[in-house]
Amino acid sequence: MFKELFPELSKETLDGLKFAGFKEPTEIQKKAIKPALEGKDILASAKTGSGKTLAFIIPLLECLHKEKWGAGDGLGALVVTPTRELAYQIFEVLRLVGHRHQFSAALIIGGKDLAMERTRIDQMNIIICTPGRMQQHMEENPLFYGDSLKMLVLDEADRILDMGFRESINFIVDFLPKERQCLLFSATQTNSVKDLALLSLQDPVEVDVDAEAATRTPESLRQKYTVINLEEKLSFLWSFIKRHKNSKILVFISTCKQVKFMNDLFCRMKPGVSINALYGAIHQLKRMDIYNKFRDVRHCCLLATDIAARGLDFPDVDWVVQLDCPEDAKTYIHRVGRTARLDKSGRSLMVLMPNERDYMLELLAKNQVPVEEVPTRDKHLFWIQNTVDAHLARDPNLKEEAKRAFKSYIKSLLNSHFRHTFDPRQLDLKAYAQSMGLEVTPRIRVLERRTDRLHKSSDQAESEAGGQYSVHEAISESDDEELLKPAKKQRLIPSDDEEEPRKEVEKEAPRLAEIERKILEEKNLTKAQLAKKLKKKGLVANKRIVFNRE
């Protein structure tokens, strides 16, 4: 089929497509490959799982083949992707499809041997890379040059910009020659992507295969959501895994520390199915090994952060479970895109808390994402709190992981895109801590300050109206990491006379230091931390008297 649609393809590329098992081109490939082979710049967007990777791999190989590119010609094509896993996946596709070509290729990503890359990068014809590592070579490696580059590919361009790589991308684009072909692929066309296209593309051909689609997710994907309380999440996930042992499940969780804790806990509890974890803090070689295992195994469960949400092609994923609410509709679309790929069927389940329901459903409705509610029945839940308590009691390290997971998740809620709708008083944090096996609720100072602001907002308005400030109120106004301002900057008693407040502060300084010391002691600080805090604020808590002969 590729031969009939694209008769200009070389025999080497056609053999590679046959070897890799690609028989018929997808819609994005039919529309993007033809103009790319003609040397035109491409600005393309399509749903996740539509075959965008092959849509730029084929033109890349054909471009260098047509130029009769050889080992001594240097860098001919550069592919930039947002994550290491996606770069590794693209490299594997390139290795399969291009195995009959004689080009040299390299995978340049963080976590690998930088010294080895420096000595060999100048011998590569094709480079698959992440933005930060590529910028590092361009700035520091005297052997690297890209003056002969023929093609630049930016894959998942919107994600590259979302992850804060704008400066790196601008540096890479400026470093490379202006006379070259550029292909820009993305699942969503945002304003940032269009701005990037203006900088790097010249008279591009726009390809949008989903412009007239009724939904922004695959039609073969069955999308559900359920509403449960925060303290039920751990039991719910365990129950889901136990009831779907013969399925391939991908679970998305907000933070790395949550993923690590749940993986270590569930492995100890032995659910009867293989469980792995994929998150950013793992060493790169281990991440590759986990990626390969989940890709090749038929029945498995992978707990992952959003590093697995973009572009990764895991075959035959039956379920995508979003245990924690996604940041926005775009993140939701990319998460569920790990299943129902290339016209295959798939199912997704999003777990929402009651305070997240209205906000998220409204957001999905605006973005043409249809979801149906499915109730959670108590009879389907295996309550595991006693088992969790027992495991944490036996293993202090697991208990510390639980504390870190608790804190990281609550902080992620406070920093999320829907933080303006999040009221910490709506959550039963004590019950959530107990569900994770913690007898005492871990302390989160950021949450305490936010809760105090909510409680004191009305009281502060009343005190301002009365024109009176207490010493404690004056001290507690600080909103940042420092709890208090230095005493010399505090104004204890408002007065029309400018000299009176200054004298009053000098008179009250010892008492103010004592009050602040007591407040800091309530924070359970060590003596060294307490002394450091007081010294930083310019306060003297006590005096040291040295006796000499006189």
Q: Are 293 and 250 in contact (CB under 8 A)?
A: no
Is residue 480's pLDDT more than 50?
no
| Distance (Å, whole) CA 141 – CA 277 | 34
Q: How confident is the model at residue 311 (pLDDT cuts 50, 70, 90)?
A: confident
**Residue 441 gets which letter from DSSP?**
P
Q: What is the mean pLDDT of residues 289-308?
A: 93
Q: Is 418 or 472 the better-scoring residue by pLDDT?
A: 418
- SS3 string, 123-179, reads HCCEEEECHHHHHHHHHHCCCCCCCCCCEEEECCHHHHHHCCCHHHHHHHHHHCCCC
- Over range 292-301, report the average pLDDT: 93
Beta strands in 288-352 (DSSP E): 300-304, 319-322, 346-352
Please calculate the CA angle 485-489-493 and round it to the nearest 5 degrees. Answer: 105
Q: Is the pLDDT of residue 471 over 80?
A: no
pLDDT at 504: 47
Q: Which of 393, 391, 427, 395 is nearest to 409 (CA)?
A: 427
Q: What is the pLDDT of residue 350?
A: 97
Q: What pLDDT shows up at residue 487? A: 38
Q: Which residue has the higher pLDDT, 177 or 49?
A: 177
User: Which is more confidently placed, 511 or 316?
Assistant: 316
Least confident residue range of 2-11, 166-175, 291-300, 453-462: 453-462
**280 touches 228 (CB < 8 A):** no
* Among candidate residues 35, 45, 26, 43, the one with its CA nearest the CA of residue 210: 45
| 336 contacts 189 by C-beta, under 8 angstroms | no
CA–CA separation, 87 vs 128, rounded Å?
A: 6
H helical segments located in 395-438 = 396-414, 429-435
The pLDDT tens digits for 179-220 are 999 999 987 777 778 778 877 888 999 998 876 666 778 888
If residue 44 lies in a helix (H) or strand (E), which one and from where to where? Answer: strand 42-45
Mean pLDDT along residues 108-117: 89
Find the helix or strand (DSSP H, E) in which 56 lies: helix 52-66
Spatial separation of the C-alpha atoms in residues 510 and 518, rounded to whole Å = 13
How many angstroms separate the CA atoms of 331 and 360, rounded? 12
3-state secondary structure of 347: strand
Taking CA atoms, 300 is separated from 220, 274, 428, 482, in Å, by 22, 5, 32, 46
pLDDT higher at 214 or 444: 444
Q: In which band, very low, low, confident or very high, does the pLDDT at 96 lie, cut at 50, 70 and 90?
A: very high
Reported as a single tens digit per residue, the pLDDT across 230-275 is 999 999 999 999 999 999 999 999 999 999 999 999 999 999 999 9
Identity (one letter) of the amino acid at 491?
R
| Mean pLDDT over the full length of the chain | 84
Write out pLDDT tens, residues 331-386.
Answer: 998 899 899 887 789 999 999 999 889 989 999 999 889 999 998 887 778 899 99
The label of the residue with tokens 């998220």 reads 360
pLDDT value at position 470?
Answer: 36
**Count of CB atoms situated within 10 Å of the CB of 485:** 15
Q: What is the dihedral of CA 467, 471, 473, 477, to 10 degrees?
A: 110
The one-letter amino acid at 526: T
Rg (Cα) of the chain, in Å, rounded? 29
Instruction: List phi, psi (to 5°) of 168.
Output: -65, -40
Q: DSSP letters along 481-518, please?
A: SSSS--GGG---S--SSSHHHHHHHHHHHHHHHHHHHH
- Cβ distance 429 to 392 under 8 Å? no
Full set of structural domains in the chain with CATH: 2-208 (3.40.50.300), 221-381 (3.40.50.300), 468-536 (no CATH)
Which regions of 168-211 does DSSP assign to beta strands (E)? Answer: 181-186, 205-208
Query: Which of 104, 102, 103, 108 minimizes the C-alpha distance to 88?
Result: 108
